[in-house]
């Protein structure tokens, strides 16, 4: 039976930005709930509204400022946190009525600001009843954040100045969280950070005790231990590694993928292929012979899917550099590609580089890279027609007028929100989000697959 706490204070949350910011929002809400607050799904019912902002690109900042403006207009009692917290002056100048501004991952500061703005009601239930963690992602997948910050200095990026140097979480704490999530219904873990391959560098890969053996704070130990998790039904949950730079030790996780212990998927933000552009970008691990590595990974684990993102129109990018990138993509045959036109970020050193690329050239290159990567993706997906593959269900639809029910899922090659989908026809009523099913693929387009449960 639900217990109503008299005068329980309600907090609204607007969460913007990347999965890392979403994890911060989840942590803040979990802490607030433990302190006796309830969540409000709308502005009206909230005693205070938190806006978790993103300040990475100028367009994201504008979106954050618009969200703050909306929250003030709709509710009036607003606390700002997240990446734009570093620009408190700008926020206060524009919105003097904001109650407090705190920075990214300053959990205590933001929780304290909420306590001040709307003091929590105290009651026996609030203090005694343990509350489950709050999740903003669907129950069947969860982001697992392993570190904060970054030790690199990519010239287009201001994350190190926003979030500081690399700070890795304790590996035993990460594994405990993963175990808890899987026991509570998570079927897919998405490992995130700014630089997953660098996990533990800041603590010299210190050892911690996990169960009956020591584990190092290191990406390969983490991957191996996550591969040992089992769902209550005895399945191996999917574990996806994001933001992996191709350091040599990445080779060690590919056999785990071949053994089915780790999802055969790597998200490697290459950003470019031309050596001169990579140098100007100051990218980490760009000296690695990536094409050869891709080839050897595919030899060990033929089903591996590699996703990446690329920036076109970076200052100084010539037509020859861009053509180099297109030729490289022909060779690399990546499974999933996101492309972005270069956009200057206030405070990034790339803004001062010579050779700004005119907007119309950026547009034209963007269209060319999209055409190239869509053709590669379409051919790769077409090759899956006729195969039977494992799919995780994200959503089950309502039956149509003929009583047929559809569902949307993803293959191991598709991370939620950024990659493609698998659309299923004629699914049984009993199918649930989070279920794993074997699907016979019947059709494909440039991004998605279509099929039926085998």
Where does this chain bind ligand SF4 (CB under 6 A)?
Answer: 150, 152-154, 157, 159-160, 194-195, 284
CB of 365 to ligand SF4, least distance (A): 20
Cβ proximity to ligand SF4: between 154 and 280 the closer is: 154
Cβ proximity to ligand SF4: between 199 and 450 the closer is: 199
Cβ proximity to ligand SF4: between 152 and 390 the closer is: 152
Cβ proximity to ligand SF4: between 245 and 423 the closer is: 245
Cβ proximity to ligand SF4: between 36 and 149 the closer is: 149
Cβ proximity to ligand SF4: between 284 and 434 the closer is: 284
CA distance linking residue 97 with residue 193, whole number of Å: 33
Cβ proximity to ligand SF4: between 168 and 194 the closer is: 194
CB of 104 to ligand SF4, least distance (A): 13
Cβ proximity to ligand SF4: between 83 and 150 the closer is: 150
> Under a CB-based contact definition with an 8 Å cutoff, are residues 414 and 335 in contact?
no
CB of 157 to ligand SF4, least distance (A): 3
CB of 23 to ligand SF4, least distance (A): 15
Pairing of strands 407-411, 422-425: antiparallel
Cβ proximity to ligand SF4: between 242 and 365 the closer is: 242
Contacts 24+ apart (CB under 8 A), 361-370: 361/313, 362/312, 362/313, 365/312, 365/313, 365/317, 365/322, 365/341, 366/312, 366/313, 366/339, 366/341, 368/322, 368/326, 369/310, 369/312, 369/325, 369/326, 369/329, 369/337, 369/339, 370/339
Burial 1-18 (b: 16+ CB within 10 A, else e): eeeebeebbbbbbbbbbb
Pairing of strands 48-53, 10-15: parallel
CB of 286 to ligand SF4, least distance (A): 11
CB of 288 to ligand SF4, least distance (A): 14
CB of 269 to ligand SF4, least distance (A): 7
Cβ proximity to ligand SF4: between 197 and 377 the closer is: 197
CA distance linking residue 306 with residue 246, whole number of Å: 12
Cβ proximity to ligand SF4: between 285 and 325 the closer is: 285
CB of 158 to ligand SF4, least distance (A): 8
> Under a CB-based contact definition with an 8 Å cutoff, are residues 82 and 104 in contact?
yes
> Under a CB-based contact definition with an 8 Å cutoff, are residues 369 and 324 in contact?
no
Q: Which residues contact 192 (CB under 8 A, 6 or more apart)?
A: 19, 20, 23, 143, 144, 145, 146, 242, 243
CB of 328 to ligand SF4, least distance (A): 19
CB of 115 to ligand SF4, least distance (A): 32
CB of 326 to ligand SF4, least distance (A): 22
**Residue 194 structure tokens:** 């700014």
**By C-alpha distance, which of 174, 213, 206 is closest to 192?**
174
**By C-alpha distance, which of 31, 36, 38 is closest to 11?**
38
């Amino acid at each position: 039976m639900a217990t109503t706490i008299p005068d329980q204070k309600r907090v609204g949350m607007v969460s913007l930005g990347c999965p890392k910011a979403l994890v911060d929002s989840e942590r803040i809400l979990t802490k607030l709930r433990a302190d006796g607050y309830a969540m409000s799904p709308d502005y009206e019912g909230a005693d205070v509204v938190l806006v978790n902002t993103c300040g990475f690109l100028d367009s994201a900042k504008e979106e954050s400022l618009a969200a703050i403006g909306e929250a003030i207009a709709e509710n009036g009692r607003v606390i700002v946190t997240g990446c734009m917290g570093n620009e408190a002056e700008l926020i206060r100048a524009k919105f003097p009525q904001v109650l407090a501004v705190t920075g990214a991952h300053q959990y205590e500061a933001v929780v304290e600001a909420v306590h001040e703005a709307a003091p929590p009601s105290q009651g026996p239930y609030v203090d005694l009843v343990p509350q489950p963690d709050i999740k903003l992602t669907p129950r069947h997948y969860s982001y697992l954040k392993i570190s904060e910050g970054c030790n690199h200095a990519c010239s287009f990026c201001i994350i190190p100045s926003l979030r500081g140097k690399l700070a890795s979480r304790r590996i035993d704490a990460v594994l405990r969280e993963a175990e808890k999530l899987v026991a509570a219904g998570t079927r897919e873990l998405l490992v995130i950070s700014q630089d997953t391959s660098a996990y533990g560098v800041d603590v010299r890969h210190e050892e911690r005790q996990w169960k009956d053996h020591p584990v190092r704070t290191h990406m390969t130990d983490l991957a191996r231990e996550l591969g040992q998790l089992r769902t209550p039904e005895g399945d191996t949950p999917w574990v996806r590694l994001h933001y992996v730079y191709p350091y040599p030790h990445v080779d060690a996780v590919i056999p785990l993928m071949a053994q089915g212990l780790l999802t055969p998927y790597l998200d490697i933000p290459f950003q470019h292929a031309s050596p001169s552009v990579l140098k100007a970008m100051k990218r980490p691990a760009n000296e690695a012979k990536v094409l050869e590595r891709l080839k050897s990974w595919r030899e060990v684990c033929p089903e591996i899917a590699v996703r990446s993102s690329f920036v076109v129109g970076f200052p100084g990018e010539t037509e020859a550099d861009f053509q180099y990138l297109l030729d490289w993509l022909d060779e690399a045959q990546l499974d999933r590609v996101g492309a972005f036109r270069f956009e200057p970020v206030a405070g990034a050193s790339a803004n001062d580089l010579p050779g700004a690329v005119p907007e119309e050239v950026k547009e034209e290159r963007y269209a060319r890279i999209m055409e190239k990567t869509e053709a590669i993706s379409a051919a790769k997906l077409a090759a899956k027609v006729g195969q039977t593959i494992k799919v995780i269900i994200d959503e089950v639809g309502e039956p149509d007028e003929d009583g047929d029910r559809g569902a949307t899922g993803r293959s191991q090659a598709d991370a939620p929100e950024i990659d493609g989908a698998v659309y299923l026809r004629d699914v049984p009523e009993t199918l649930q989000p989070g279920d794993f099913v074997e699907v016979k693929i019947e059709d494909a387009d440039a991004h998605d697959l279509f099929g039926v449960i085998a």
